[in-house]
Amino acid sequence: MADDRPTPLDKIAILRSATPARIFLPRAGAALTTRATLDFQLAHAEARDAVEERLDADRLFDELTSRGLTAIRVKSAARDRRSFLLRPDLGRKLDDDSRQRLKALAGDYDLAFVIAEGLSARAIARHALPVLEKALQSLDRTSWNIAPIVLAEQGRVALGDDIGETLGARLAAVLIGERPGLSSPDSMGVYLTFAPRVGRTDAERNCLSNIRPQGLSYADAARKLLYLCHEARRRQLTGVDLKDDADTLPLGELRAIDAKS
Amino acid sequence: MYATTIRGTSYRFPDLKTLMAKATPLRSGDCLAGIAATSAAERVAAQMALADLPLSVFLNEALVPYEEDEVTRLILDGHDHNAFAPIASLTVGDFRDWLLSDAVDEHALAALTFGLTPEMAAAVSKLCRNQDLILIAAKRRVVTKFRNTLGLRGRLSSRIQPNHPTDDARGVLASAIDGLLLGNGDAVIGVNPASDSPEQCYELLSLLDELRETLSIPTQSCVLAHVTTTLQLMERRAPVDLVFQSIGGTQAANSSFGIDIALLRESREAALALRRGTIGDNVMYFETGQGSALSANAHWNCDQQTLEARAYGVARVLDPLLVNTVVGFIGPEYLFDGKQITRAALEDHFCGKLLGLPMGCDVCYTNHAEADQNDMDDLLTLLAVAGVNYVMGVPGADDVMLNYQSTSYHDVLAVRRMLNLAPAPEFAQWLADVGLTDAHGELQAPALPASFAPLLERA
């Protein structure tokens, strides 16, 4: 057409950039067009694959130890992916062998990091190490005795309670692959629990969500996590009464974290 | 003690809740709770024992203790014995036949409403095939009103769900405009806020209200915040059309949501006092879903479908405009696959309608469930045949804030066309008036009505 003045539909197209939602999709009659249908199918396929994928735990373990970190591999009581999905209670519990090996490492720890694939091994493979490293760099080791890093297979968030309790840690930070969204198959979460022990509820934890380059950045995630760790230790609690005010209360320690990251 | 013998094998069920759980069609949540039938034959044996049980048993044996649960007290204290009279002598099996019979029509079902307890509705649903759940529910229409008329026969409404990961105003507006252009939004324009901060919710409420006012849309808006947040906002005179809350089927489940029945009643009074409804005063919006009580360890060893029906017992004393089960949101440990999700949605719609609720359904699944959009297509069509009041309209079926898949604006168009269903009458008239639909109610080729222009200037 000769007339190339912007039409009202061009104007609403400008709004498209305001949201990641699948808006203004064209229709073929009363249905979506082929292109939009296939785009959706691909996103769903990627999310499904992310759920089914298993973490390359050998590789991650090697990466941890090659950085001079002490690490230990454990398994939850969920034997396979199906029982992991259907029996959340099993994913929250250590298997017997893992419990025995962790007991041998029990000590007087201020903080235990747990890495678990959760529902997205992809998230852990990509984001766990960078966030862990940034957090560790910023912790003063003279006042923070850190437990060996625990790498857990088929683990849910509450597995950190069992692990933290078995190790004798005062705080547990669980880095875990979140339920994949259609537009975010590799999102990582971190759950922090004070005085971890079996039976803690989610209301007793603090959570950082959507950690990935397109969401909460590694540096921000590490900074918020460190803030929560310090506050949890100072106030002897985590959960609904501990708000994530890292943005509004820049402590000296947090500036130091920023400077390093 | 309940028992039945099949070909020499006797099956025994120590109490009513065990019988109900074992009679429930297979689903992962009941297995997780350790209360499901242990074999397919035991399940049918339980269904046979349940079929022979008089309905009146449910008035005498509470599944959740009366003394310890306000939902049980609400249900039993509110039971209407006169309305119950036509079915008082029936067994659960007889009741299924009665519901299906030609003599029982819409009026008979409406008259029965408060004579029926949620447990009775749940019990009979366990004896119904999917086809029965559809056939019976299709007889019953539940009509509610605020600024338009929802639930009429021949109509299918939709909620525009314009969620955004950070509640960005332009992003929410863009998704809402998209939905309106596709003829969605007559049930409600309702945002799940990413943050429960009162300030953020106030801004979203103002945004949606301005959108509705600017375009003179005969619909209602809602920000699906916690009821305590909405109460605060009403005190500050925020433009609250509907009070939203997630509810469950036991006092303990509701307590885990931070609510009780008194708080719901208080919020309803506050919303009524705002007098914002133009043609009706149904001011509540509830969401539910099988498995919520178990996930809060508040299930009293009852099956998840019965507890879901009990949540409807709570909803119906509050005259809601909208109630929807968010059926597949909870995940595969409660409803494993498309088959279980479909069954649960049809049960929920059936029980809700029999109990007098304006039932909608969020036809949905998560990425760790064994389900896909084909399952949702099937379920959406089945529910529309069953006469569901409304479903969700999510851009491209992909909720980018809650990370699950639902039904799209386009899906609503498709099912309306397949089954010759129209939006709510006032909304259909508005679509025609602004030029979005033609004389036959069909959407026009993509074009932006002149009345939308001011919105875009500001966006």
Q: Where in chain B are the domains?
A: 144-433
Please report the pLDDT score of residue B450 as a whole number: 84
User: CB contact, 8 Å: B178 with chain A?
Assistant: yes
Q: How far apart are CA B435 and CA B439, in angstroms?
A: 10
A205 found inside a domain: yes
B contacts of A85 (beta carbons < 8 Å): 332-333, 368
Mean pLDDT on A125-129: 97
Give residues with Cβ within 8 angstroms of B159, minimum separation 6.
B184, B185, B187, B188, B189, B190, B322, B324, B360, B390, B391, B392, B393
> Chain B: nearest CA to A231, how far in angstroms?
22
**Which of A198-207, B300-309, B368-377 is the least confident region?**
A198-207
Q: How far apart are CA B354 and CA B24, in angstroms?
A: 18
Res. A247: pLDDT tops 60: no
B162-191 pLDDT, tens digit per residue, is 999 889 999 999 999 999 999 999 999 999
Enter the tokens of residue B203: 């801004």
A68 found inside a domain: yes
B418-431 pLDDT, tens digit per residue, is 999 999 999 999 99
In angstroms and rounded to an integer, the radius of gyration of the C-alpha atoms of chain A is 21
> Chain B: nearest CA to A108, how far in angstroms?
33
> Chain A: nearest CA to B190, how far in angstroms?
15
A contacts of B299 (beta carbons < 8 Å): none
Mean pLDDT on A161-167: 98
Strand partners, A151: A73, A115
The mean pLDDT of chain A is: 89
Q: Domain limits at A65?
A: 54-130+141-216
Res. B223: pLDDT tops 90: yes
Q: Quick check: A9 and B446 CB within 8 A? A: yes
User: CB contact, 8 Å: B410 with chain A?
Assistant: yes
Res. B137: pLDDT tops 60: yes
ipTM of the complex: 0.94
Res. A79: pLDDT tops 80: yes
**Secondary structure in 3-state letters for B92-103:** HHHHHHHHHCCC
Mean pLDDT on B86-93: 98
The domain total for chain A is: 1
Mutate: best of A9, A14, A22, partner B, most B CBs <10 A? A22
Res. A246: pLDDT tops 70: no
Give residues with Cβ within 8 angstroms of B46, minimum separation 6.
B4, B11, B13, B19, B22, B23, B37
Measuring CA to CA, which residue among B386, B321, B381 is closest to residue B348? B386
Q: How many CB pairs under 8 A join A and B?
A: 137
A27-62 pLDDT, tens digit per residue, is 999 999 999 999 999 999 999 998 889 999 999 999
**Which of B185-199, B209-223, B311-325, B400-414 is the least confident region?**
B185-199
CATH code of the region B144-433: 3.20.20.70
Please name the residue that has the structure tokens 């309608």.
Answer: B353
CATH number of the domain within which A177 lies: 3.40.50.11240
Cross-chain CB nearest to A88 (options B333, B403, B453): B333
Mean pLDDT on B72-101: 98
Give residues with Cβ within 8 angstroms of B127, minimum separation 6.
B23, B47, B50, B51, B92, B93, B96
Enter the tokens of residue A37: 């249908």
Higher pLDDT, A11 or B319: B319
> Chain A: nearest CA to B408, how far in angstroms?
9
Please report the pLDDT score of residue A8 as a whole number: 61
Residue A7: φ, ψ to 5°: -90, 165
Mean pLDDT on A9-27: 85
Q: Quick check: A85 and B332 CB within 8 A? A: yes
Is the CB of residue A76 less than 8 Å from the CB of residue A150? no
